[in-house]
Amino acid sequence: MRRLVTVCALAGVVLTLATAASGSTLDDIKKRGTLNCGANGQLPGFGIPDSQGNWTGLDVDLCRALAAAIFNDPNKVKFVALTAKDRFTALQSGDVDVSPATPPGRPRATPSSASTPRRSTISTARASSSARTSS
C-alpha cells in the first residue's frame, strides 16, 4: 500500500511538472543537467541539510523523484534553501525550477501542533459538556 501511494504521488508530481512547465523550461533544465529545487532548509522531515550537506526530507524526496523522471538519476538535483517569503520570487526569476513546499499562509503540521487539538475541537467538547450539565 505504501508503495502504491508513493508511486501515485510521484506520478502526480511528474504530471504537474509536465503540465505546468513550458517546453522551454524543461529544455533548459535538461540542457543544464540538474534540477534546481527550492527547499525550506530548516524544517526536519521536509527539507534540511545534515552536517555533511546531504539534504533529507519529503520535499527533497519529491525533487529527487523529479530529477529521476527527467534525467533517470535522482542525484541530478541542486537544492537551494528558501524562506516562504522568497519561494515565489525564486520561482519567477528562474533561480529554482520547482519548490514543492507548502505555500505561505498554509502552515505544515509539526509534531507539537499535530498533538494539540484545534480550538474548534476544544470548543465543541466544552459545548457538549456544558449542555449535559445544564439539563
Place of cell 502526480: 12
119 three-class SS: helix
Is pTM beyond 0.75 here? no
Interval 73-99: pLDDT, tens: 999 999 999 888 888 889 888 899 998
User: What are the C-alpha distances in Å from 78 to residues 4, 27, 33, 128?
Assistant: 27, 17, 10, 52
Task: Please tell me the distance from the alpha carbon of residue 67 to that of residue 64, in angstroms, as a whole number.
Answer: 5
Task: Please tell me the distance from the alpha carbon of residue 89 to that of residue 96, in angstroms, as a whole number.
Answer: 9
- Per-residue pLDDT at 60 exceeds 90: yes
User: What are the C-alpha distances in Å from 61 to residues 32, 37, 70, 74, 128?
Assistant: 20, 11, 14, 9, 43
Domain architecture of the chain: domains with CATH? 2-107 (3.40.190.10)
Interval 18-48: pLDDT, tens: 445 556 889 999 999 999 999 888 888 888 8
